Amino acid sequence: MYPLGLRLAGRRVLVVGGGSVAQRRVPPLLDAGAQVHLVAPHLTPALEAFVASGRLAHSIRPYEPSDVDGAWLVLALTDSPAVNAAVAGDAEARQTFCVRADDAMLATAWTPAVGRHDRITVAVHADRDPRRAVALRDAVVERLADGSLDAAFGRGEPRTGVALVGGGPGDPELITVRGRRLLARADVVIIDHLAPHLLLDELPAHVEVIDASKLPYGRYMAQEAINSALVDHALAGKFVVRLKGGDPFVFGRGGEELEACLAAGVPVEVVPGVTSAISVPASAGIPVTHRGVSHEFVVVSGHVAPDDPRSLVDWPALARLRGTLVLLMAVERLAKIAATLVAEGRPADTPVAVVQDGTTTAQRSVSGTLATIAADVQEAGIGHPAVVVVGEVVSVAARIAARLPPGDA
């Protein structure tokens, strides 16, 4: 076997068959820019969507030998060995390589297990053992993703500037692929109190880790100190990852940090993250929307009380909503917030759940109603950090949980 990479951009590729194998093989061909012509009497819905979007040419009929004309590559992917054999025979006669879904030994070309990372393509042929090929590919891609391969070989383009990375809600597995990749390249990591600290374990020893919650002075100055730390290290030629909890732009002052970098002329990239506003309820089984129950969710900061003159929140308007309210930074002022919502018209028996340390091993939660939740939280000893969910979706979660087999709840 002779491995090869094909540049298919603008070149005609014939795919015969419109089932699940074609559905897996077509997207990478389109991604490579190939002009894919698919011939099949029937298509899967996903393939139909490609046709509808204009990216895929489709002939709705059985295969004809002239279909092979002008193709650089042919894929025979039907579930009929006889059709695949006919396609392969016609391709052979025209000296065109042909992949076969049914019998690799009869094919003139094999598709490897493919993985991509950054601009690296990993392709594995494992002597016709597809599971082994996939396992090998995964092993290599995984090591590329966590940076250990690049670290072992001292490779990877040097980077400078700043990346504002959303670290997700706490579970180290809930950072994005891109976030993890950039973290592996960091010279300096400035981490928030609520960012997933378990990720620091993966960092090589030379990486400087700065705990942003320990930076000096009061609240306002602390942000100034963080901004200067970002800028100063970047200007010194370091690649700085600012690892934040959840998403950088959801109550994370990410906008200010972005602005500070731009003002200093430091190149900066923002990597979105999985916000606690959605993922922490989810980890307690609460969907923030549910068909027929809630057509909206509103994410609100509870860090200032409703009657505080600094508050920018229209609580009476929120109290009129029927959907889901997600409150962050609200445990401390929960009694006042719940009372305000009831006073402004949200029914006192509206279900409420409070989830602390969501997605971590310490996760716990309590539920009640707007009338009871402040007392419930106190009694259960729930504290910071916690997400408060107000609305009927909380009862939906209870209903769903009741269907789980015992032990899975």
Binding site for ligand SAH (CB under 6 A): 169-170, 194, 245-247, 250-252, 275-277, 280, 328-329, 355-360, 384-387
> Percentages helix, strand, coil for the chain, rounded to the nearest 5?
35, 20, 40
Q: Are strands 351-356 and 12-16 parallel, antiparallel or unpaired?
A: unpaired
CB proximity list for 208: less than 8 A, separation 6 or greater: 187, 188, 189, 233
CB proximity list for 48: less than 8 A, separation 6 or greater: none
- Exposed, middle or buried: residue 200 (CB in 10 Å: 0-12, 13-18, 19+)? middle
CB-wise, 63 or 251, nearer to ligand SAH? 251
Structure tokens at 13: 């590729």
Asked if 244 is an active-site residue, the reply is no
Q: Which helix (H) or strand (E) holds 389?
A: strand 386-390
CB-wise, 13 or 355, nearer to ligand SAH? 355
Residue 403, phi then psi, degrees to nearest 5? -90, -15
Angle at 64 between CA 62 and CA 66, to 5 degrees: 150
Helices 45-52 and 20-31, interaxial angle, to 10°? 30
Q: Which of 192, 247, 357, 376 is catalytic?
A: 192
CB-wise, 53 or 361, nearer to ligand SAH? 361
CB proximity list for 389: less than 8 A, separation 6 or greater: 281, 286, 288, 324, 325, 326, 327, 352, 353, 354, 355
CB-wise, 257 or 357, nearer to ligand SAH? 357
Question: Quick check: 110 and 51 in contact, CB under 8 A?
Answer: no
Chain-centre distance of CA 393, in angstroms? 23
CB-wise, 83 or 354, nearer to ligand SAH? 354
Match 């939740």 to its residue by tokens: 373
CB-wise, 59 or 360, nearer to ligand SAH? 360
CA dist., res. 227 & res. 257, Å (int): 6
Buried b or exposed e, range 49-67, using 16+ CB within 10 angstroms: ebeeeeebebeeeebeeeb
CB-wise, 90 or 357, nearer to ligand SAH? 357
Rounded least distance, CB 166 to ligand SAH, Å: 7
Structure tokens at 91: 């391709």
HSE-CB for 208 with a 13 A CA cutoff: 11
CB-wise, 128 or 384, nearer to ligand SAH? 384
Structure tokens at 245: 């909890």
Asked if 192 is an active-site residue, the reply is yes
The catalytic residues are 192, 214
